[in-house]
Amino acid sequence: MRDGVLQTLLETRARRPEAIAEAAQRRRRRPMVKPSGRLMLVAADHPARGALAVRGRADAMANRVGLLDRLLTALARPGVDGVLGTPDVLEDLLLLGALDDKVVIGSMNRGGVPGTAFEIDDRFTAYDAASIEEMGFNAGKMLLRIDPTDPASASTLAGCAGAVSDLADRRLPALVEPFWVERLADGRAVNDLRPASMVRALAIAQGLGRTSAYTWLKVPVVDNMEMVMEASTLPALLLGGDPPGSPDDTYASWEKALRLPTVRGLVAGRSLLYPPDDDVAAAVDTAVGLL
């Protein structure tokens, strides 16, 4: 961002908080799914859980202006449909005028902070269905981690079920990101990405709420994706995540999974916003090309 643009953002934040609601009301909106049926979204809800690391760099996402610069670059690339984020990030983008004609998905439960005793208690601490509707956004996203050793998973299940129902009452899609969780010997919680565990997580996620009519799934690319995606008829978006391998390997796995019949597109954040060569535009263009 140019210095003048940044200064205007900072002054507006300090002096005119009502400008956020005004920007939301005048934003040019678009439907979530266009005739092509494909979606390419950029994710930026990681900082709200204190998850700032990318590819081993602990503070990669710590600089907010740097993150906004990368998001502005990504959102300006042809073929990028929109963004997924928490209120702080999306409101900055609103004030910067970057969300016109974009799909906007509000991230809802960010309470399960990694490395804490309450990590699996993924409480709804950001958007709710009412605020997503009020802001004129397209959908709500929620994380569902199921740890068979932690009773907090039950409250997360109940919270997600309620959010799915509340969104459906407003005819707003719910994007549910489910994981089965494994506890390591040192007590750390890690996502179990074995195909059978992903099938189990998807089976539970798609049954949440009073109706599944507006439910979408957000699914990581794992081994045997064909079997995993056969667990559901619901529309799904692939989760980009923070892949450990080379970008070429990552893109190849995405390309293969994007051919599956229920997969409608891709939601990628860290892998595109912080690529190894730091060329955000090129990384985003490559991902768009896969669609």
Q: The whole model's pTM is what?
A: 0.95
- Residue 47 contacts by C-beta under 8 Å, 6 or more apart in sequence? 61, 62, 64, 67, 86, 88, 89
Of the CA atoms within 13 Å of residue 136, those in its CB half-sphere come to: 18
Write the pLDDT tens digit of every residue in 72-95.
999 999 999 999 999 999 999 999
pLDDT at 160: 98
Residue corresponding to tokens 């051919």: 259
Structure tokens at 156: 């997360």
Q: Is the pLDDT of residue 157 over 90?
A: yes
State the angle between helix axes of 247-257 and 280-290 in degrees (0 to 180), rounded to the nearest 10: 30
pLDDT at 2: 79
pLDDT at 103: 98
Residue in 180, 177, 34, 204 with CA at minimum distance from that of residue 102: 34
pLDDT at 245: 75
Question: What φ, ψ does residue 97 adopt, rounded to 5°?
Answer: 70, 25
Burial class (CB in 10 A: 0-12, 13-18, 19+), 5: middle
Distance between CA atoms of residues 200 and 141, nearest Å: 20
pLDDT at 200: 98
Q: Is the pLDDT of residue 241 over 80?
A: no
pLDDT at 247: 85
Q: Is the pLDDT of residue 161 over 90?
A: yes
More confident residue, 243 or 69: 69
Domains, the chain, ordered by start: 40-290 (3.20.20.70)
Q: What percent of the chain has pLDDT over 70?
A: 100
Write the pLDDT tens digit of every residue in 3-45.
899 999 999 999 999 999 999 999 999 999 988 889 999 999 9
Distance between CA atoms of residues 183 and 191, nearest Å: 9
pLDDT at 36: 86
User: Which residues in 225-234 are b (16+ Cβ under 10 Å) and which e?
Assistant: beebbebbeb
Mean pLDDT of 152-171: 97
Residue corresponding to tokens 């908080």: 17
